[in-house]
A = this chain, B = another copy of it.
Amino acid sequence: MSDLERVDALIDQLLTENPPATTEVRELWGAQFDLGLAWVWHPEGYGGIGVDRKYQAHVNTRMNEAGASTDNRLFNLLGIAMGAGVLMAHGTEEQKSRWLRPMFTGEEIWCQMFSEPGAGSDVAGLSTRAVPDGDEWVINGQKVWTTLAHVAKWGLLVTRTDPNVPKHQGLTYFVVDMEADGVEVRPLYQITGEAEFNEVFFDDARVPDANRIDAVGAGWRVAVTTLMNERVAIGGNEVPRGSGTIAGAVEAWKSSGSDDQVLRDELVRLWAEVEASRLTAVRANEMASKGTPGPEGSVGKLDWATLNKQVTSLTLDIMGLDGTLFPGGYQLRRPNYGESQVPQRAFLRTRANSIEGGTSEIMMNILGERVLGLPGEPRVDKDVPWSEVRRG
């Protein structure tokens, strides 16, 4: 039996034993985990059956076709897309057993706490301290830009455990109970008035040593696993032609009834760039699927940020004075992901695209250094104890 046949047989079993129409969704996802269809490439017992990762898309597609929800992958994205990988690469048996299943069923939401007010692009310069106390660690500090923290049960947390070694060496990684004493989550309102993100404050919060991921001082290694997953998740996806922000611009153009040739040229130029970028992602996927990924795969995140900002700005220009309005006005609240986004809101929201998930400046460094092989900057913080490096 080929891997594909094996996967298909398991999907048949899942859907037969748990008819999507009549099965409670968490029960379905639990069964999916137990059958090894949660992360098919994981070994058996950890939500997988040890086959190639590419079959997961097939599982998801077949489930959707059968009317079975895969929304857990969205509302628990940081757990299922990142946390699981971290646990598999660095976690203990106990940790995997304890966390993977409720993560997949969505019973326990996960969040990720890396960035700090003083550590943005330079994440490894972070200051949140963890100090050992018996078989616990005492956490003090502040994290920022934490999505889902206000609904999360568990948080992936990087802390500084040794300030007296160079910055990458003194970090330790934990899984933190977000409901524990000393952990406070506050909404972080953004330019749109909405709070997609949170700030998390640690005030003598205590984490059992059993929740430490990998060794003391190995936090950076674990963080890199997490960040690589994050950057892959943004950009580089294959999308239909003309979708995304450019669709809004074209729609604005058409409903404007304008025949302004200057605007038209700008719109077509952006359409062309968006399409060239999209085709680059298509090429990247083809090369990756052939096992020979090339430079085309590295430009997606940067393109996405650059073009989104340009396209949404031009959209407002096309709208003219309508672009100066803000239907509904500003309200300080949690975002409602269900409602459609007006172009003005998209214009504001996309400003963060070149900051979140790696600033465009950092992405350009990565393209220059890792893809083109150009030399790095002189490092003033290398080989210097973290405590002696200026930051903030």
CB < 8 Å neighbour of A262 from B265, B377, B378, B380: B265
Residue of B nearest to A264 (CB): B262
A292 adjacent to chain B (CB < 8 Å): no
Task: Please name all residues of chain B whose beta carbon is closer than 8 Å to the beta carbon of A377 when the two chains form the complex.
Answer: 377-378
A261 adjacent to chain B (CB < 8 Å): yes
Task: Please name all residues of chain B whose beta carbon is closer than 8 Å to the beta carbon of A380 when the two chains form the complex.
Answer: 378
Task: Please name all residues of chain B whose beta carbon is closer than 8 Å to the beta carbon of A378 when the two chains form the complex.
Answer: 377-378, 380
Report how far A14 CA is from B262 CA in the complex, Å. 59
Task: List residues of A (135-162) whose CB comes within 8 Å of B's CBs.
Answer: none
Interface of A is mostly: loop
Closest Cβ of chain B to A325, distance in Å, is: 25
Report how far A378 CA is from B380 CA in the complex, Å. 8
Closest Cβ of chain B to A380, distance in Å, is: 5
Residue of B nearest to A378 (CB): B378
Closest Cβ of chain B to A62, distance in Å, is: 49
Q: What's the number of copies of this chain in the assembled complex? A: 2
Query: Which 5 A-B pairs rank lowest in CB-CB distance, beginning with the nearest?
Result: A261-B261, A262-B265, A378-B378, A378-B380, A261-B262
Subset of 9 A-B contacts with CB under 8 Å: A260-B261, A261-B261, A261-B262, A262-B262, A262-B265, A377-B377, A377-B378, A378-B378, A378-B380
Report how far A380 CA is from B380 CA in the complex, Å. 10
Taking A261-B261, A377-B378 as known contacts, 7 extra A-B pairs with beta carbons closer than 8 A to each other, sorted by chain A number, are A260-B261, A261-B262, A262-B262, A262-B265, A377-B377, A378-B378, A378-B380
Task: Please name all residues of chain B whose beta carbon is closer than 8 Å to the beta carbon of A261 when the two chains form the complex.
Answer: 260-262
Per-residue CB contact flags for chain A residues 367-392 toward chain B (1 = under 8 Å, else 0) read: 00000000001101000000000000
Report how far A378 CA is from B262 CA in the complex, Å. 44
Closest Cβ of chain B to A390, distance in Å, is: 11
Per-residue CB contact flags for chain A residues 329-369 toward chain B (1 = under 8 Å, else 0) read: 00000000000000000000000000000000000000000
Per-residue CB contact flags for chain A residues 299-335 toward chain B (1 = under 8 Å, else 0) read: 0000000000000000000000000000000000000
Task: List residues of A (237-264) whose CB comes within 8 Å of B's CBs.
Answer: 260-262
Report how far A160 CA is from B377 CA in the complex, Å. 28
Residue of B nearest to A259 (CB): B261
Task: Please name all residues of chain B whose beta carbon is closer than 8 Å to the beta carbon of A262 when the two chains form the complex.
Answer: 261-262, 265
Task: List residues of A (176-191) whose CB comes within 8 Å of B's CBs.
Answer: none
Closest Cβ of chain B to A377, distance in Å, is: 8
Residue of B nearest to A269 (CB): B262
Per-residue CB contact flags for chain A residues 263-302 toward chain B (1 = under 8 Å, else 0) read: 0010000000000000000000000000000000000000
Closest Cβ of chain B to A212, distance in Å, is: 36
Residue of B nearest to A265 (CB): B262
Report how far A380 CA is from B378 CA in the complex, Å. 8
Report how far A262 CA is from B263 CA in the complex, Å. 8
Task: Please name all residues of chain B whose beta carbon is closer than 8 Å to the beta carbon of A260 when the two chains form the complex.
Answer: 261
Residue of B nearest to A268 (CB): B262
Closest Cβ of chain B to A388, distance in Å, is: 16
Closest Cβ of chain B to A253, distance in Å, is: 15
Report how far A260 CA is from B265 CA in the complex, Å. 11
Residue of B nearest to A260 (CB): B261
Report how far A340 CA is from B134 CA in the complex, Å. 85
Closest Cβ of chain B to A247, distance in Å, is: 23
Closest Cβ of chain B to A259, distance in Å, is: 10
Closest Cβ of chain B to A1, distance in Å, is: 60
Closest Cβ of chain B to A349, distance in Å, is: 28
Task: Please name all residues of chain B whose beta carbon is closer than 8 Å to the beta carbon of A265 when the two chains form the complex.
Answer: 262
- Of A260, A262, A378, A380, chain B has the most CB atoms within 10 Å of the CB of A262
Report how far A261 CA is from B263 CA in the complex, Å. 10
Report how far A378 CA is from B377 CA in the complex, Å. 9
Residue of B nearest to A261 (CB): B261
